[in-house]
Amino acid sequence: MAFLSKSASAAVTSNATGGGYLSLSKLPDGGSVRFALLSDQPLEFYEAWGSSNGANKPFRFDYEPTYEDVVAEMGDFEPREGRGGPGTADVKFAIACPVYNYESGKVQVLQITQKSILKEIDQISQMEDYAELLEWDFTISKKGSGLTTEYTVRPVPRKKGSQEHIDAAWIEAKSEGFDITRLLTGGNPFKAA
């Protein structure tokens, strides 16, 4: 018999992600997360980070921006330098989609910039057995840290009895005004400004 209840154990060992966002980079080495996709049409965009007075902020574009576009959008923020050196911005392709995080029991936004994860999810989506992505759960595991980080994506059967909880959480998030496209304007996808 376990000393801690399941909820207490989850609170102590939580790979906690900030609020409404499921952050894969915050998974510990050897950690994993299980989630259900809530949309099979992710928001696709390009992202560049800027800094000003010690603050960092993401800037998102619905097109691949030039360095001039990034500088114009950032205003007082300084863009993170790209691999091309001075006069370039570090711009990455990204997707974001609403997911049901089993650990938190809530709808969260999963944003992915890691090409290895994007490729694995795309390959899974093209397999006949997984044609209905919204009927499956997924686990993403993390191994290593820094430049040696590796992520593994696996589709797994939906947890028994969980569909009702997933549906209820998604209905609640949408009724409270969830709109993932607010990410493109720096807004909160969970509520209007």
Distance CA 75, CA 80 (A): 13
What's the rounded mean pLDDT across residues 164-188?
95
Mean pLDDT of the chain: 89
pLDDT of residue 19: 65
DSSP string, 153-182: EEEEEPPTT-HHHHHHHHHHHHHTT--GGG
What's the rounded mean pLDDT across residues 130-151?
93
pLDDT of residue 147: 84
pLDDT of 3 above 50 = no
What percent of the chain has pLDDT above 90? 80
14-38: b or e for each residue (b if 16 or more CB lie within 10 Å)?
A: ebebeebebbbeebeeeebbbbbbb
Name the pTM for this structure.
0.85
pLDDT of 16 above 90 = no
| Burial grade of 45 (CB within 10 A; 0-12, 13-18, 19 or more) | buried
Q: Evaluate whether 105 touches 86 at the Cβ level (below 8 Å).
A: no
pLDDT of residue 191: 87
Q: Which has more confidence, 107 or 10?
A: 107
